Amino acid sequence: MARKHIAGVAVVTVALALTGCSASNNSASGGEPSGDITVLTNRTDLVDTTFKDYKKAFEKKYPKVNVKFEAITDYEGEVTTRLSTGDYGDVLGIPASVTPSQLPQFFEPLGDTSDMKKKYRFLNDKSYDGKQYGLPTFGNANGILYNKRIWKEAGVTDLPKTPDEFIADLKLIKEKTDAIPYYTNYKDGWPLGSWQGQQGFSGDTGVVTDRDKSDAPWSKGSEQYITDALLFDVVKDKLSEDDPTTTAWEGSKALIGSGKAATAVLGSWAISQFQQAAKDAGADPADIGYMPFPYQKDGEFHSAIGGDFNNAININSKNKVAARAWVDWFTNDSGFAQSQGAIPAQVDAPNPSTLQDFTDAKVKLVELDKAANPSLDSDIYNKAQIDLFGNVYRQKLVDIARGAADGDMNSYFSQLNKEWADARTKVKS
């Protein structure tokens, strides 16, 4: 099967690589935007509604441009494959698997990062060698989504300030309510990656560089240790769902929305979706609350904010001027960030109402520093096969915590440390 799978990818690659060679070299600046552009998007849910309106508004402003959308369900997988063919639309969201050093191979530079920083934030991810390759559509904060009603019923009034308080609160919920205190979403897996999204919760903006310099990121006191130990303890103390192998993401929205489950670590993009799920389940959308990771430095909570999908221009595009117009228009004039309840990419834009809880708790929003070597982190974790932002190694962590796999937290962490250190030496050599 795998042979067929990879082989299938290969044949498409070869066939399309031949047709994709006719790249034109017109640049993205100068001239009036005109021609046809194809926009790839992962928002299959919006392409026939909201995006139709965007097309109308955009074409009104630039009458000579004709916008076409291509909505892709398995966006990450499909677009990653198409990248090597040259045929990936004119404007597209940059797939997460492209490393910063690969950006110049596939995308048109949008300008100098230092210049663009005056107007936009969240630029660090898609910048390489001082040039900017992607413009964020909006940004997210990171924290923990919870059902306020349930937490209140359990008698919790203050936000937990330490991991221990968080565990104690979940225990209260287990005792006093019928709700599942924490929902891991183990089966779908990717929500487990949201735990990594919390990095920077200690206010340390250089956390990625620190990790890449360390031979033992899972050492007591480090962010990585605190994050994974908390997940481990939640599962070990039986505060999560009984059988994690049969969870379902869509179902989890309704569970938390209606108060059958109480808590989940997720990015702030999820807030509006869970509010909708609460409404659909006949509950009050105002029950959905958002708290920062339970950790304080100098008496303050911190939450890392970062860009969501970045729009970029295909380096082979024939209508780069029109493509550039769309990229700028989408971030600045479409109102997409506001409609998603997300943090706009403009430096001076106000926080959305979904983050009111953060404003109330005086959470400090921080942006992580750009790593000195932006590809190093992914090089190491891919080599080590520790998918920090994926699900494989955290599923193993959950398995160990619930007694379904051999070992304990310390043995697993030292194994991770060893694999990390080995990978570091291999990557550097």
Partner 1 sequence: MTQTTGTPGGIAPTAPPLDAVEASGKAPRRGIRQSKWTPYFFVAAALILLITFTYVPAANLIWYSFTDWDGIDKTKDFVGFDSYAEIFTDPEIFRVFFVSLYYIAASFVQMALALYFATLLSFSTRFRNLFKGILFFPFLINGVAIGLMFLYFFQPGGTLDALLKGVGAGGLTTQWLGNPDAVNVSLAATSVWRYTGLNFVLFLGAIQSIPSQLYEAAELDGANRFQQFRFIIVPGIKRIISLSFILAISGSLAVFEIPFIMTGGANGSATFVIETIQRAFTFRQVGVASAMAVVLLIIVLVITFIQRRIAPDKEVELS
Choose among 146, 49, 47, 135: nearest CA to 323: 135
Least spacing, CB of residue 72 vs partner 1, in Å? 16
Tokens of 404: 């379904």
Choose among 2, 14, 418, 15: nearest CA to 219: 418
Least spacing, CB of residue 207 vs partner 1, in Å? 22
> CA dist 138 to 38, 182, 222, 334, 349, Å?
21, 28, 29, 11, 11
Least spacing, CB of residue 408 vs partner 1, in Å? 15
In 3-state terms, what secondary structure has residue 8? helix
SS3 content of the chain, % helix, strand, coil (to 5): 45, 15, 40
Spatial distance between the Cα atoms of 235 and 229, rounded to a whole number of angstroms: 10
Closer residue to partner 1, CB minimum distance, 2 or 30: 2
Closer residue to partner 1, CB minimum distance, 94 or 305: 94
Phi, psi of 240 (to 5 degrees): -110, 180
Closer residue to partner 1, CB minimum distance, 95 or 344: 95
Least spacing, CB of residue 376 vs partner 1, in Å? 14
Least spacing, CB of residue 239 vs partner 1, in Å? 16
Tokens of 133: 């390759």
Phi, psi of 74 (to 5 degrees): -90, 70
Closer residue to partner 1, CB minimum distance, 83 or 321: 83
Per residue, the 3-state secondary structure of 220-271, as one string, reads CCCHHHHHHHHHHHHHHCCCECCCHHHCCHHHHHHHHHHCCECEEEEECCHH
Spatial distance between the Cα atoms of 186 and 374, rounded to a whole number of angstroms: 29
- Looking at the DSSP bridge assignments, the partners of residue 250 are none
Closer residue to partner 1, CB minimum distance, 15 or 372: 15
Closer residue to partner 1, CB minimum distance, 11 or 372: 11
Closer residue to partner 1, CB minimum distance, 58 or 420: 420
Closer residue to partner 1, CB minimum distance, 11 or 57: 11
The set of residues, in sequence order, having a beta carbon less than 8 Å from that of 385 and lying 6+ positions away, is 392, 393, 419
Closer residue to partner 1, CB minimum distance, 203 or 390: 390
Least spacing, CB of residue 210 vs partner 1, in Å? 22
Least spacing, CB of residue 34 vs partner 1, in Å? 30
Least spacing, CB of residue 1 vs partner 1, in Å? 4
Question: For 385, how many CA atoms within 13 A lie in the half-sphere containing its CB?
Answer: 4
Q: Contact residues for partner 1 (CB under 8 A)? A: 1-3, 5-11, 13-15, 77, 80-81, 83-84, 97-99, 102, 105, 186-187, 189, 242-246, 382, 385, 387, 390-392, 395, 399, 402, 404-405
Closer residue to partner 1, CB minimum distance, 186 or 358: 186
Give the burial class of 165: count Cβ atoms within 10 A of its Cβ; 0-12 exposed, 13-18 middle, 19 or more buried.
middle
Least spacing, CB of residue 105 vs partner 1, in Å? 5
DSSP assignment of 93-131 equals EPPTTS-GGGHHHHB---EEHHHHTTTBS--GGGEETTE
Give the burial class of 15: count Cβ atoms within 10 A of its Cβ; 0-12 exposed, 13-18 middle, 19 or more buried.
exposed
Least spacing, CB of residue 204 vs partner 1, in Å? 27
For residues 139 and 303, is the Cβ–Cβ distance under 8 A? Answer: no
